[in-house]
Amino acid sequence: MPKVLITPRSFGKHSDEAKRILIANGYEVVENPYGRILTEEEMKKEIADVDAVIVGIDPLNGEVLSCAKNLKVISKYGVGTDNIDIEFCKGHNIPVTVTRNANSDSVADFTFALMLAIARRVVEIDKSCRALNWGKKASIGVHGKTLGVIGTGAIGRGVIKRACGFEMKILAYDVYPDDEIAQEYDATYVEFETLLKESDFITLHLPATRETTDLLSEKEFSMMKETAVLINTARGELIDEDALYDALKNKRIWGAGLDVFKKEPPEKIELLELENIILGAHAAASSVDAVNKMSLMAVENILANFK
For 11, 102, 110, 238, the CA distances from 76, given in Å and listed in that order, are: 12, 12, 21, 20
| 282 belongs to the catalytic site | yes
Peptide bond between residue 265 and the one before it cis (omega within 30 degrees of 0): yes
Task: Express the helix, strand and coil content of the chain in percent, nearest 5 each.
Answer: 40, 15, 45
For 35-106, strand residue ranges (E) read 52-55, 73-76, 96-97
The residue among 91, 185, 104 whose CA lies nearest residue 147 is: 185
- Cα–Cα distance between 160 and 170 in angstroms, integer? 7
Nearest in space to 195 (alpha carbons), one of 214, 220, 226: 220
Residue 150 per-residue DSSP state: E
**Taking the CB of residue 305, how many other CB atoms lie within 10 A of it?**
16
Instruction: Point out the catalytic residue in the list 40, 218, 264, 300.
Output: 264
Report in angstroms the alpha-carbon separations of 175 from 97, 172, 178, 189, 192: 23, 10, 10, 10, 10
Burial class (CB within 10 angstroms; exposed 0-12, middle 13-18, buried 19+) of 283? middle
Q: Check: CB of residue 146 under 8 Å from CB of residue 200.
A: yes
Q: Enter the DSSP assignment of 236.
A: G
Please state, in angstroms and rounded to a whole number, the distance separating the CA atoms of residues 228 and 187: 19
Query: Of 121, 157, 205, 235, which residue is the catalytic one?
Result: 235
Residues annotated as catalytic (active site), given as ranges: 235, 264, 282
